[in-house]
């Protein structure tokens, strides 16, 4: 495995445009990793509560209810 310094030297040897693409790609992968971690936590919690396989209709009903409750609180009139 390359050391961090070697890797940095290799990256800085790339043209600026390629460095930019590389950094963008690294950021995307890190973001996706964070999202996957959150999905894992969320699914595990739903599974623990026996809610991961809730009927789609039930999930929709809950989403609609929450949406309207929040909307009515934010816009009283």
DSSP-derived letter for residue 51 is -
Which CB, 10 or 34, lies closer to another protein? Answer: 34
CA neighbours within 13 Å on the CB side: how many for 15?
2
- Chain contacts with another protein (rule: CB under 8 A): 21, 24, 27-28, 30-32, 34-35, 37-39, 41-43, 45-46, 52, 56, 59-60, 63-64, 66-68, 70-72, 74-75, 77
Name the residue nearer to another protein (CB basis): 14 or 46.
Answer: 46
Nearest distance in Å: CB 23, another protein: 10
Pick between residue 12 and residue 77 the one whose CB is nearest to another protein. Answer: 77
Buried b (16+ CB within 10 A) or exposed e, 48-59: eeeeeeeeeeee
Between helix 4-12 and helix 16-48 the angle, nearest 10°, is 130
């Amino acid at each position: 495995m390359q050391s961090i310094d070697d890797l940095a030297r290799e990256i800085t040897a790339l043209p600026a445009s390629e460095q930019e693409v590389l950094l963008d790609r690294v950021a995307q992968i890190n973001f996706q990793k964070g999202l996957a971690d959150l999905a894992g936590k969320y699914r595990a919690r739903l599974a623990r509560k026996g809610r991961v396989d809730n009927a789609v209709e039930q999930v929709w009903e809950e989403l609609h209810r929450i949406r309207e409750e929040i909307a009515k609180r934010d816009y009283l009139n």
